[in-house]
Amino acid sequence: MNTEEPCLTLPARSSDRPGSFAKITWPVTETRLATVTDTRSWSDEILAGWRNPLREDTALIVTELVTNAILHGGGLHSLQLTLLHDDGVLVEVGDGSQDPPEPREPDPQRASGFGLRLVAALTQDMGQWRHASGKTVWARLGPER
């Protein structure tokens, strides 16, 4: 198996994500550092292949969460997309910090600081969990908000 290619599994039901249909992981390695543009293009391509109506929103969520991981979380450690049976999408982004993401007060003079509010507005649910190497921030998009 080529470690530079995303890993795709298509189980009838994923044992670790109840209600999931397909799961794909972006290959983050020391030799392949992810950029925000790369991950956005990758997620857009995956959702196009899944013919999922949440394609644009998912690409935006990936962009925001990966940007936060790079700028505030010590770098991108993992990125995973899971297609759910209801055509929803679960986005999971891991980074190297255990500090929880914190929304900033909006400032119209800055171009940044709106990401987590945007993620919350576009998703059905979001959260994070800590683990030994940092945290994973997740967001669930559904056919209905």
With respect to residue 78, please indicate whether it lies within any of the assigned structural domains: yes
Q: How far apart are CA 97 and CA 125, in angstroms?
A: 21
| pTM of the predicted protein model | 0.81
Lowest mean pLDDT: which of 23-32, 101-110, 136-145?
23-32
**Predicted pLDDT of residue 108:** 78
With respect to residue 4, please indicate whether it lies within any of the assigned structural domains: no
Strands 76-84 and 89-95, bridge-based pairing: antiparallel
Asked if residues 129 and 119 have their Cβ atoms less than 8 Å apart, the reply is no
Q: Give tens-digit pLDDT for 5-15.
A: 333 333 333 34
Give every CB contact of residue 55 below 8 A, 6+ residues apart in sequence: 44, 47, 48
**Predicted pLDDT of residue 7:** 37
**Predicted pLDDT of residue 126:** 94
Domain span at residue 120 reads 19-141
With respect to residue 49, please indicate whether it lies within any of the assigned structural domains: yes
Q: How far apart are CA 12 and CA 5, in angstroms?
A: 22
**Predicted pLDDT of residue 102:** 86
Q: Give tens-digit pLDDT for 64-89.
A: 999 999 889 998 999 999 998 888 99
Average pLDDT over residues 126-144: 92
Q: Give tens-digit pLDDT for 17-52.
A: 455 578 888 877 654 556 888 899 999 999 999 889
Task: Identify which has the larger pLDDT, 142 or 4.
Answer: 142
With respect to residue 6, please indicate whether it lies within any of the assigned structural domains: no
**Predicted pLDDT of residue 23:** 85
With respect to residue 114, please indicate whether it lies within any of the assigned structural domains: yes
Structural domain count of the chain: 1
Asked if residues 125 and 139 have their Cβ atoms less than 8 Å apart, the reply is yes
**Predicted pLDDT of residue 34:** 63
CATH number for 135: 3.30.565.10
